[in-house]
Amino acid sequence: MSRYIARPTTILTLLATLFLIPIAASAQSNNTESPYSRFGLGRLDKQTSHALRGMGGLTSAIRDNMIINPANPASYTAVDSMTFLFDFGLSMGMNMLTESGKRDARMVGNFDYATALIPLGKHFAASAGLVPYSTVGYRYGTRVPVPGVKDHYSAYAYKGQGNLQEVYLGFAWKVLPYWSLGVNASYLFGNLQHERRITYDIKESQNPTFLDHLRIRSVGVRIGSQGIIPISADGHQITIGFTYEPKLPMWSRQLRLQTETITGQGAQILHADTISSKSLFARPHVASAGIAYQIENKLIAGADVKYSRWSEALSDTEKSGYQGVDQWQVALGMSWVPNDRSSQYGQRIAYRAGLQGENAYLRIPNSLGGYNSYYQIGANLGLGLPLVDKRSHVDVTLGYSYLRPSSRTGLAEHYLTLGVALRFNEAWFKPIKLD
């Protein structure tokens, strides 16, 4: 007689998932040092695993039985019915800022994500995890003469920090042998803080500090579909994928605080105001489509396009100065494994490469009374390194991105990032023979 029981290593892995997600949720992000993150919701993060980032961030049509792809929940049914997947990643790198011939390099790093995927039978699967949404991180300043006071200056210091993260739970159903549907329900949460401090080099001067603390909560829905077109009996196929996210409100609570410090004395609160709103920000309408050509266990090559209607999601533009802009994102990428059954280790490695580009989701004010925007392009190289069990992998991704402002006098940014992820692949149930 045989029974199927959960393996102890699988149970430990599941417990590790439940343990790591709250730790990641409480961790402070430090994956950007961009002054552009002062506006809107900060810098939008990539909600993809390092395995997919190595392919330029392809998501819509990616359907792999060893990769968790929450960007399209229909992909969950690709997993084998007796396999449990767990993936968590971190990254570190350097951010270089350049403006008018000046440069400033800063180190960044962060715990990125933690996701898990569980089969629920032959035609159903579920996934849960924590993924990033946006990040605020900057510090810069300037020094200007005090009007009407000779040989005295005031120093302006700007600082921001915080992040928004998203916990999701998703389900997928293989409706037909070559067609799957999926849906993710998510809860977004986090805090963003901005500080502006003015300090005068005058004795007993009044030095104001303006603090803006924003707390955001929201629910979200993502619907995904994937269809497979078989080409040959030996695993050649074309996958087409689509996703859609409806516009939904974000609940925000904003604390605006002004304090004043007199040189040599303590600080006092001059003004404090708390504003709660459901119209300050919103999740935009988002739609994506992708196509991929795949040879089973050997090759994935594809292209993605994604559209986000941010022009309708940011409503506080008059007071904050910035303007929401509809965003387009495109990606091209591939992954190639020479021979996944070879005895030579180098033949079993997944070699990845990809390109991506996008426009900014907002325009920010400039000193001439107009607005500046920016564009971002990037390239990625990645490796999927199999572990001893030949099922689990370590994903290593090296990425470079260039943020180009629309004005030649604007601030440009260069990012060089190294990402590392551990991707467990465990047998969810193992047959045990009982006498």
Q: Residue 366 belongs to what domain range?
A: 2-433
Of all residues in the chain, what percent carry a pLDDT higher than 90? 52
CATH assignment at residue 135? 2.40.160.60
Residues near 419 by beta carbon (within 8 Å), at least 6 away in sequence:
50, 53, 89, 90, 91, 112, 395, 396, 397, 398, 399
Range of lowest pLDDT (16-20, 100-104, 318-322) = 16-20
Three-state secondary structure call for residue 214: strand
Quickly list DSSP for 356-402: EEEE-SEEEE-TTSSEE-EEEEEEEEEEEEE-TTSS-EEEEEEEEEE
Identify the pLDDT of residue 267: 64
Placement of tokens 């409706």 in the chain: 175
Within 146-265, strands assigned E span: 153-176, 179-200, 206-230, 236-245, 248-262
From CA 388, how far away is CA 425, in angstroms rounded? 12
From CA 293, how far away is CA 301, in angstroms rounded? 5
From CA 70, how far away is CA 49, in angstroms rounded? 9
The token pair that represents 83 in the structure block: 């396999």
Residue of 280 and 224 predicted with greater confidence: 224
| Cα four-point dihedral sign 364, 367, 370, 374 | negative
From CA 87, how far away is CA 360, in angstroms rounded? 29
Is residue 226's pLDDT more than 90? yes
From CA 80, how far away is CA 87, in angstroms rounded? 16
Placement of tokens 């915080």 in the chain: 162
Residues near 393 by beta carbon (within 8 Å), at least 6 away in sequence:
51, 66, 350, 384, 385, 386, 387, 423, 425
* 29: confidence class by pLDDT, cuts 50, 70, 90: low
CB 64 within 8 Å of CB 300: yes
Provide the pairing of β-strand 153-176 with 393-405.
unpaired
CA angle 311/313/315 to nearest 5° reads 90
Helical spans, DSSP H, in 27-129: 50-53
Placement of tokens 């991105």 in the chain: 401
Residue of 426 and 425 predicted with greater confidence: 425
Q: Give the chain's mean pLDDT.
A: 85
For range 100-112, the mean pLDDT: 81
| Cα four-point dihedral sign 321, 32, 113, 287 | positive
Identify the pLDDT of residue 80: 84
Identify the pLDDT of residue 229: 95
Amino acid identity at 290: G
Among 273, 170, 166, which Cα is nearest to 222's?
A: 170
Identify the pLDDT of residue 308: 96
246: how many CB neighbours lie within 10 A of its CB?
Answer: 12
Identify the pLDDT of residue 322: 83
DSSP for residue 170: E
Is residue 8's pLDDT more than 80? no
From CA 47, how far away is CA 127, in angstroms rounded? 14
pTM exceeds cut of 0.85: yes
Range of lowest pLDDT (30-34, 80-84, 138-142, 402-406) = 30-34
* 27: confidence class by pLDDT, cuts 50, 70, 90: very low
371: how many CB neighbours lie within 10 A of its CB?
Answer: 16
Residue of 164 and 365 predicted with greater confidence: 164
Is residue 247's pLDDT more than 80? yes
Instruction: Please report how many Cα atoms fall inside a 13 Å half-sphere around the Cα of residue 319, on the Cβ side.
Output: 4
pLDDT tens, position by position, 340-378:
888 899 999 999 999 999 999 998 877 676 778 889 999
From CA 223, how far away is CA 241, in angstroms rounded? 11
Q: Structural domain tally of the chain?
A: 1
